[in-house]
């Protein structure tokens, strides 16, 4: 705080939410609208390690993936302005939550588990969804919902919206937060 007023927010839009909520697509569209670069934490992890996310989980294990995820987040938040699509599980880590909270305007793309299940299908290529996709998503959602709630400056209910509509709503939320 300076003179009793909050510091200006960094020029960053951070999209959080469950896998299947549309963070990557919406992030790209929002970045186009803003004329800002777009970074996706999973893509950054893949670029840094030379491995796909499923390969990292299979070969190195989830803790190694989470460590690479934190590194990717730190790097992404070194850029400004930027739109960052933050992978669904990054919020599990306390340090990541602080980075996200302080990193810019945080918009939660909130979706019902039914919506996520419809979009994700059999969960192929998603390491945490082996087996019963709907049940796994419901369990992950139950743990994470409160964390997303605590972090979000704004929430967009994406279930009945197109990616373009969600991107427009996210950019509006950013404009309002910066006003």
Binding track over 134-173 against ligand S3P, x by CB under 6 A: ----------------------------------------
Selected range binding ligand S3P among 31-39, 70-78, 120-128, 165-173, rule: CB under 6 A: 120-128
- Asked if residue 88 lies in contact with residue 136, where contact means CB atoms within 8 angstroms, the answer is no
9 or 57: whose CB is closer to ligand S3P? Answer: 57
Q: CA dist 163 to 34, 64, 88, 89, Å?
A: 15, 31, 17, 21
Selected range binding ligand S3P among 1-9, 87-95, 157-165, 167-175, rule: CB under 6 A: 87-95
Alpha-carbon dihedral sign for residues 89, 91, 92, 96: positive
Size (the chain), residues: 179
Beta strand pairing call for 38-40 and 154-157: unpaired
- Which of 88, 103, 104, 123 binds ligand S3P (CB under 6 A)? It is 88
| CB 57 to ligand S3P: min, Å | 7
| CB 168 to ligand S3P: min, Å | 21
88 or 104: whose CB is closer to ligand S3P? Answer: 88
Distance CA 117, CA 136 (A): 10
DSSP helix/strand/coil, 40: strand
- Which of 14, 15, 19, 151 binds ligand S3P (CB under 6 A)? It is 19
Q: CA dist 19 to 30, 120, 156, Å?
A: 18, 8, 15
- Asked if residue 107 lies in contact with residue 155, where contact means CB atoms within 8 angstroms, the answer is yes
10 or 127: whose CB is closer to ligand S3P? Answer: 127
Per CB under 6 A, 77 contacts ligand S3P? no
12 or 126: whose CB is closer to ligand S3P? Answer: 126
Per CB under 6 A, 128 contacts ligand S3P? yes
* 111 C-beta neighbours (distance < 10 Å), count: 25
* 33 C-beta neighbours (distance < 10 Å), count: 15
Residues forming the site for ligand S3P (CB under 6 A): 19, 23-24, 42, 53, 87-89, 126-128
């Amino acid at each position: 705080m300076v003179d009793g007023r909050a510091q200006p927010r960094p020029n960053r839009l951070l999209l959080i939410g469950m896998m299947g909520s549309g963070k990557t697509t919406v992030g790209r569209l929002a970045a186009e609208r803003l004329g800002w670069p777009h970074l996706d934490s999973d893509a950054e992890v893949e670029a840094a390690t030379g491995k796909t996310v499923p390969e990292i989980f299979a070969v190195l294990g989830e803790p190694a993936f989470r460590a690479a995820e934190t590194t990717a987040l730190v790097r992404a938040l070194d850029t400004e302005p930027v739109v960052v699509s933050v992978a669904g599980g990054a919020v599990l880590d306390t340090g990541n939550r602080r980075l996200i909270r302080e990193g810019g305007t945080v918009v939660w793309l909130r979706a019902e588990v039914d919506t996520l299940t419809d979009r994700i299908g059999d969960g192929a290529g998603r390491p945490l969804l082996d087996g019963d996709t709907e049940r796994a998503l419901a369990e992950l959602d139950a743990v994470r919902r409160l964390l997303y709630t605590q972090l979000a400056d704004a929430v967009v209910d994406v279930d009945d919206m197109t990616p373009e509509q969600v991107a427009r709503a996210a950019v509006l939320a950013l404009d309002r937060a910066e006003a």
